[in-house]
Amino acid sequence: MTPEESYRWLADHSRETALLISVEQLLGWDQRTCIPPKGHAYRAQELALLARLVHERLTDPRVGEHLERVEGSNLTADPESAEAVNIREWRRTYDRITRIPRDLAVALAKAGADGQTAWEEARPNNDWRGFQPFLERLLDLSRQQAEALGYTTEPYDALLDGYEVGETAAGLEQLFVSLRKFLVGLLDAIQGSRRKPDETIVHRHFPRILQEQLCREAVTRIGYDFAAGRLDPTAHPFSTGLGPGDVRITTRYDENFFNCAFFGAMHEAGHALYNQGLPPEHWGTPRGEDVSLGIHESQSRMWENMVCRSLGFWQGFFPRTQEVFPALRDVALKDFYRAINRVAPSLIRVEADEVTYNLHIIMRFDLERSLINGDLEVRDLPLAWNAKVQEYLGLTPPDDREGVLQDVHWASGAFGYFPTYSLGNIYAAQFFAKADEELGGLEERFAKGEFGPFLQWLRANIHSQGMRYRPRDLVRRVTGEERNARYLQDYLARKFNDLYGLK
């Protein structure tokens, strides 16, 4: 068999596997949006079966045989070609997945589905003890996964590498130490300011049906295609790309808090714009997939914060918002802008402001790293969580519902995921600065309702590239320099010094 024939076999195999994964994702979307309560047990079996089938396909020995034929062939002569990129990433996936025994992969999938169901029941009931056994099971399986994958320094690195290739806990720790120092200093300055935004503005009554209407209008304005997606309610907002023409978003509604649904929808729309911008001709192969969670998060955080929390955005969109919500008709634009950007330590990560958000992430990174490395046991997690919240944010959770039970990630076994949120913020600021430099006056464009040029810039430089470049390589090619947290620090200092009258 020639290298070209082996490549065609690999491509067909990859696309068929992607179809199975999209079915798995569709069942996951249904489980988190509209499955009947009695359907969860059977859903866990369905997801476990699909996980087994996907694992069998990914570990098929024929994949390894065909990879040996194409590697080093003329197909890889140009390392940036679609063929070379696909071969590189198929090899990475094959080497990684074949280290995980099939029984472990199935057990992880079932435990993740069971854990998510248990979390959805435990959180509203503040039932840590009921959830604890599920998390203990997931932690045990995740430690087994880390051992199976292998690592050089610590088990956590093996899991982290699955979300952000090439990253290590030690490298992130170094990055986060300096970032945390900056954030704490900025937060101290803000808390010492005499300027106090009126937070009651965003805690008026906002009927859910009108919130959904405004969310749909706003995500449409920035470019989200409803002919290729939908918006649904959920307990924990997420976006899922099921394939070309089907990229769905969700949000969570609170009739007494404007920010919750609106910025949740804009965040997930940022993810969805990335998925809708991936090259459809390469769907089912790495060249048509997003490069990493950190880069993906850069898109969501960029649209949520740098676009949709900007003064320019609201200069254009606030009049329409006042039309929809009579409760805001007596509010001045500058007061609304200050209210939606109010900085104050809070307990809930998804509702955190831009300054304190990364402190939430860094503390979760510390905790899950300790869990995976064996320095912290699940039974001690609530106390460790509360201690970290006090250390990082100066607050004490009143219960586990607003503490250790607030996130779904660990409930599904996603250890190593959290750091990608802060990496996303760092990437976002660097990308945004470059786009503003090249396009000029982005905020003025937003005030006029012009989002197309910015979206097209992202499509050309990031979305359409798929997995052509690894995360750090992509940052370097787009911005002309290495990853640099200074852009995030400069952005936050500039915005919040102005908002709070500092310096």
Residue indicated by tokens 């402190």: 359
Q: CA 176, CA 182: separation in Å to the nearest integer?
A: 10
DSSP string for 326-393: GGGTT--HHHHHHHHT-----S-GGG--HHHHHHHHHHHHHHHHHHHHTSS-GGGHHHHHHHHHHHHH
Residue indicated by tokens 């959770």: 397
End-to-end CA distance of the chain: 69
| DSSP three-state, residue 355 | helix
> For 192-329, where are the alpha helices, taking DSSP H only?
208-222, 258-277, 293-301, 311-324
Amino acid 212 reads E
Q: CA 373, CA 416: separation in Å to the nearest integer?
A: 12
CB of 66 closer than 8 Å to CB of 6 = yes
Q: Cα dihedral sign for 420, 466, 230, 19? A: negative
Question: Hey, what are 267's tokens?
Answer: 């965040």
What count of residues does the chain have? 503
Segment holding 106, helix H or strand E: helix 102-122
| DSSP three-state, residue 374 | coil
* Residues linked to residue 233 through DSSP beta bridges, in sequence order: 251
The one catalytic residue in 89, 268, 289, 297 is 268
**Secondary structure percentages of the chain, helix, strand, coil, to 5:** 70, 5, 25
Output the CA torsion 381→384→385→388 (10° steps).
Answer: -160
* Residues linked to residue 232 through DSSP beta bridges, in sequence order: 250
Q: CA 242, CA 245: separation in Å to the nearest integer?
A: 8
Residue indicated by tokens 């104050």: 344
Examine the residue annotation and report whether 268 is marked as an active-site residue of this protein. Answer: yes
The neighbour count for residue 45, using CB atoms within 10 Å, is: 11
State the burial class of residue 235 (Cβ atoms within 10 Å of its Cβ: 0-12, 13-18, 19+): middle
Kindly calculate the radius of gyration of the chain based on its CA atoms and give it in whole angstroms: 23
Amino acid 473 reads D
Residue 285's φ and ψ, nearest 5 degrees, are: -125, 160
Strands (DSSP E) found in 125-238: 231-233
Which residue numbers are catalytic?
A: 268
